[in-house]
Chains A and B, each alone.
Chain A
Amino acid sequence: YTQEDPVKIALVHGLSGSPLEAYSKQTTNGFNLGLEYATKGTMEIKGRKIEVIEKDTQFKPDVARSVLAEAYGDDEALIAVGGTSSGVTTAMLPIAQEYEKILLVEPAVADSLTGPDSNRYVFKTSRNSSMDTQAQALALSPDENLFVATLAQDYAFGRDGISSFKRALEGTGATLVAEEYVPQQTTDFTATIERLFNALKDKEGRKVIYIYVAGIDAMTPLASADPARYGIELSTGGNILPAMASYKQVPGMEGSIYYYYEAPKNEINDWLVKAHQEKFGSPPDFFTAGGMAAALAIVKALETAEDWDTETLISTMEGMSWETPKGTMTFRPEDHQALQSMYHFKIKVDDNVAWAIPELVREIKPEEMDIPIGRNNQE
């Protein structure tokens, strides 16, 4: 590299072909804002211009592999960030190894991305499913008095989530009375609701149905079946803002969330909220924060590292802590997963706000959670 050459960072995301493309937009916005914040608007690191190149995976794993390879091989990107869905990202992992370059995973969530089939070139700033479910378990303040039934979709994401949720309940005295799995595209919950109610209604104590689904609304049918008549509460994790509108039906509901713009109290988040409002006329959402965290991690790594050789970067990033809109994150040396805070919330309804507001109860610190280590990159 000569001094004049810009440093290239590739954003490898799904930009067309799936409803998830909206998530990619959020990530991209967050990422760009992150670079702006970290470089104080200069878009330069160590005097080198940063060039962000965007690649569209079209949500197809094979396309993702070739555009990632292209980013590394032809465009000579130093680091790539992506992808949007776990499947596409899984397919991308070996490419990083093949080209011996860093892939920073954001915003795909699956635990397996830092699992045994991953490799040491992969870092991950996004949360993983274990964090979601463990924080959720903690937000329920489990004890002997607690009876929980779960509702999840019948595929790897749902089943893994519930088993990690179960692990978090172990030893707390709480009882899991039923696990219901529904097909991924379920539209009629009546039968499942009957089963859940039947399982819980005769229990003495606090009765909670934990909803762990993606892409479908199980809240509305559950809420309208009036669980309160059996003294049953609903609980679920937070979601992106548009999806939180349906939470208005369950004021007072408690759960945990990955990011809500009013929750973290720190300087970076304040800047993000303000800048996002100015630029896009709306508060930042879930994946905006993630995108920004990824950018901040990259800038910090590039600034600290002596040279930008991949090996140097890996050793710099292993164990690195940096500031993000969600507070401090740390790349765990073993599996390169970024450990981070989650937020315990309680739903408040305000008619002037389009969505239900997840009011902060408390921050759940990374130390409180026991996130399984996926693989050991040190070996």
Chain B
Amino acid sequence: MSVATSSHSGTSERRVPAGRLAVYAIALAIGLCLAFAPFLFTDVRAQEVAARICIFIVLVASYDLLIGYTGIVSFAHTMFFGLGAYGTAMVLKAWGPGWDAIIVGGAVGVAAAFVLAVLIGLLSLRVKAIFFAMVTLAAASVMLVLASQLSDFTGGEDGFTYQVPRLFSPAMKLFEDADGKVARLFGVALNGKVAAYYFVFLSSLVLFLVMLRIVASPMGTVLEAVRENEMRAEAIGYRVVAYRTAIFCIAAVIAALAGVVRAVWLKYVGPEVALSFGIMIDILLMVVIGGMGTIYGAVIGVVVMSLAQFYLKDLMEVAAGATSGIPLLPDLLNPDRWLLWLGVLFILLVYFFPAGIAGTLMKKGSH
């Protein structure tokens, strides 16, 4: 490396490499698909999938703030998600459908998440990473048990259903045509379902943009510094515990907000959709598949995983049918074993593309 004449270096830093552009393009394309999902995909399942993708993008991106940016391994993320969802759902159930219930319930849930995050963070973010992971795992399982035992309030294992404001019910006509029937746009009925979807989409979009802003801010780099070399970050003047706790709380609050949106969309809440360890594993898979420490990775990871969860089975069914003559293969391709293949794919991914899809793409064309 010669000390050559380059007073204006750093240009290399500012030129956006091709791989990075590709990631932005993919994320934008996905964003556009989601923005027009009700009109692009008219079948019922696709809409459910689209809403779920929106919510999970927020959830996974907020987890990426922890694991990808700051290097904090937490197993309590679904706990915060669940607090938001349960808070909203319980108040909706008690007060009946209404915006006041959503706002109050959501606020209670988010506040609870925040307080818990502060407590856990201050108490245990000083200890070794692995112990922190265990503490959060313990906290999450206590919460799960609580939800199951306080079944009078939480519906226990089975969860409970409730009503949401009329604006979001399928019978709601957003616009009426001349005959008083629900107006259609490109053949899609503009009913409460569409309103509900856009509620989900816009809330998710706002939260996602907030996170993009956070990681591009000075704080974002400090988080990475804390992940890379805690002791050095402290030595140049950053209070590591404070930053860790702060980001842990921010992530918790965002997860809880995602939970609020989830509760409003689903009209049902239960451990399986808002609290279980299964969701935690899904989040982990998504964040890794997408690529840690990129935020955009969350978008890609969630889409890939969701499509696999909802459609890989169908594919395997076809594959199993096509190979029915060959011994053994159909058994392994049995659609009920789709998780097996997902697991294998996942291992291969961690093995060969540890940076995930977005991370690998971004590296391409840098140097």
Contact = CB atoms under 8 A, between A and B. Distances in A.
A155 B270 CA distance: 14
B58 to A, nearest CB: 15
Given A70-B45, A155-B157, A63 B309 contact: yes
A91 B268 contact: yes
Contacts of B338: 16
A79 to B, nearest CB: 17
Interface residues of B, number: 34
A207 B106 CA distance: 51
B158 to A, nearest CB: 4
B179 interface: no
Nearest to A183: B145
B238 interface: no
A39 interface: no
B157 A86 contact: yes
A172 interface: no
Interface string A37-68: 00000000000000000001011111101110
B158 A90 contact: yes
Contact of B149 (A60, A61, A155): A155
A90 B43 contact: no
B45 A156 contact: no
A61 B278 CA distance: 12
Nearest to A72: B44
A15 B43 CA distance: 23
Interface residues of A, number: 38
Contacts of A70: 43-45, 48
A69 B45 contact: yes
Contact of B336 (A16, A74, A90, A155): A16
A98 interface: yes
B44 A86 contact: no
B159 A98 contact: no
Nearest to A154: B149
A126 to B, nearest CB: 14
Interface in B251-270: 266-268, 270
B317 to A, nearest CB: 10
Nearest to A68: B44
A61 B43 contact: no
B151 interface: yes
A112 B151 CA distance: 12
B161 interface: yes
B45 A94 contact: no
A62 B151 contact: no
B313 interface: yes
Given A63-B310, A154-B149, 5 more contacts: A16-B338, A60-B278, A69-B48, A86-B158, A184-B148
24 contacts: A15-B335, A16-B335, A16-B337, A17-B278, A56-B313, A56-B335, A56-B336, A60-B278, A62-B48, A62-B266, A62-B268, A69-B45, A69-B48, A73-B44, A74-B45, A87-B272, A90-B160, A94-B267, A98-B170, A155-B148, A156-B148, A156-B155, A157-B157, A184-B148
